[in-house]
Amino acid sequence: MAIAGFAALVVGIGAAVVVCGDDLEEAALEARSSIVVRKDASAAPAAVDLKPYEKAIKAFENPVKVITPAESDRSFLASGRRVFCEAGDSSSGTKGCGRPIPFGVKVCTYADCGIKQPAEVKINLDSDGDGLPDEYEIKFGLDPKNAADAGEDKDGDGFTNAEEFAVGTDPADPKSHPDYLDSLKIVLPLKETFLPFFCERVFPLPGGDNRFYFKDPRKKNQYGQRGLVYDMKTGEDIGKTGYKVKSYEKKTARKSIESAGGEKRLEHEVDVSEVTIERKSDKKTLRLVVGDNKRKIAVDAKATLVYERNGTKEFTVVPGDTIELNLAKYKIVEIKSVGKGAKVTLENPEFGRRTLQALEQ
């Protein structure tokens, strides 16, 4: 039995040596395969990204500061004012996401939405219901609880506080007001006097002077025919009309006509010479185009103007007159008939030139 046990022990040790030898050899092969041999031993190591470290240093140098809100403000523990996202343009047919977004933003702040938000509607309170917002009345020293002040004139410029609010002027400044001419009207027809004659032709005379022929189509000549003709030289009276010839200017102008295709082409030069005549009573001068017998030349034009504000005022004016409307003065620059109507041009240092027009009904 002893011999048999010894033999079994020898056989077991031999088997163990064989098995362990195989395992050791396999482990050695695995170890050799895991070793990486650097082909380029001289290559530099990969650069280290320093951005995270730089960011950390900045955060350390500039720590977050906690600001204590004012007592009048809401607590810093409360969230900011927010609203729900909604579609601002109903015609587009799109709908908002409905999530809470900061108040006052124009576009939803969520990247997957981006819907335009409706504009904030500002509500103007009008406590007394006079048409003037409380904010406006407080700003200009009016009473937001007194409806009667809308019809009052705080600065005495002739316009009510409500009228000044409507056009955006200052109801507390007498120099800030709407244009008074908006309340000024022309009464038709104009009162005009016309020159009774026209300059028919001019003939040059030896020595440089000229002979002028003026014709009055309303009067009869010595032969009983309509069209009395006056002829005279420079400086002489035009009959008994009260006018005299003052000067003469030779002038020409190029006249162009349109062809059948609508293109303009030069046709010829025409005589547009002018004669200056003078009214002897007041030295008023008029310029007449030679041969222009169809145009009515107004010598004097007188207009009646009605100012309908704070009662009715009526003015009868001629060019050169000045009228006063409340706190502003206007000079009459021109009065002229236009077709069946008329126009009056006035000038004011503040508003400049304005033209009133009226059309006969």
Listing DSSP states for 265-333 in one string gives EEEEEEE--EEEEEETTT--EEEEETT--SS--EEEEEEEEEEESSSEEEEEE-TT-EEEETTEEEEEE
Longest dimension (CA), the chain: 189
Q: Which is more confident, 6 or 346?
A: 346
Q: In this model, does residue 260 exceed pLDDT 90?
A: no
Q: What is the structure's pLDDT at 330?
A: 94
Cβ neighbours of residue 331 closer than 8 Å, sequence gap 6 or more: 320, 321, 322, 346, 347, 348
Cβ neighbourhood burial of 223 (10 Å; 0-12, 13-18, 19+): exposed
Q: What is the structure's pLDDT at 19?
A: 44
Per residue in 203-227, pLDDT (tens digit) is 999 988 999 999 999 899 888 888 8
Distance CA 240, CA 244 (A): 9
Domain residue limits, the chain: 75-121, 134-177, 181-192+299-359, 196-295
Distance CA 119, CA 107 (A): 10
The residue-averaged pLDDT of 99-120 equals 85
Q: What is the structure's pLDDT at 62?
A: 77
Per-residue pLDDT band for 20 (boundaries 50, 70, 90) equals very low
Q: In this model, does residue 348 exceed pLDDT 50?
A: yes
Q: In this model, does residue 314 exceed pLDDT 90?
A: yes
Closest by alpha carbon to 251, among 298, 302, 289, 213? 289
Per-residue pLDDT band for 251 (boundaries 50, 70, 90) equals very high
SS (H, E, C) 245-264: EEEEECCEEEEEEECCCCCE
Q: What is the DSSP string of 195-264?
A: -S-EEEEEEE-TTS-EEEEEEEEEEE-TTS-EEEEEEEETT-B-TTSSEEEEEEE--EEEEEEE-TTS-E
Q: Which is more confident, 36 or 289?
A: 289
The residue-averaged pLDDT of 223-249 equals 93
Strand, helix or coil for residue 93: coil
Per-residue pLDDT band for 47 (boundaries 50, 70, 90) equals confident
Say which residue the tokens 């909604």 belong to. Answer: 86
What proportion of the chain, given as a percentage, has pLDDT over 70?
A: 77
How many residues are there in the chain?
361
Distance CA 128, CA 2 (A): 129
DSSP class of residue 192? E
DSSP class of residue 353? E
What proportion of the chain, given as a percentage, has pLDDT over 90?
A: 42
Q: What is the structure's pLDDT at 110?
A: 87
The residue-averaged pLDDT of 296-309 equals 90
* Pairing state between β 226-233 and 264-271: unpaired
Alpha helices by DSSP H, listed for 35-93, are 51-61
278, two tokens = 């003078």
Per-residue pLDDT band for 24 (boundaries 50, 70, 90) equals very low
Q: In this model, does residue 13 exceed pLDDT 60?
A: no
**pLDDT averaged over the chain?**
82
Q: What is the structure's pLDDT at 320?
A: 92
Q: Which residues pair with 355 in a beta bridge?
A: 345
Q: What is the structure's pLDDT at 134?
A: 92
Q: What is the structure's pLDDT at 17?
A: 44
Number of H helices, E strands in the chain: 4, 17
Closest by alpha carbon to 109, among 97, 91, 94? 97
Per-residue pLDDT band for 244 (boundaries 50, 70, 90) equals very high
Per residue in 141-195, pLDDT (tens digit) is 999 999 999 999 999 888 999 999 999 999 999 888 888 888 999 999 999 999 9
Peptide bond into 174 cis (omega under 30): no
What does pTM read for this prediction? 0.53
Q: Residue 13 CA to chain centroid, in angstroms?
A: 110
The b/e string for 237-275 (b: 16+ C-beta within 10 A; e otherwise) is: ebbebebebeebeeeeeeeeeeeeeeeeeeeeeeeebbb
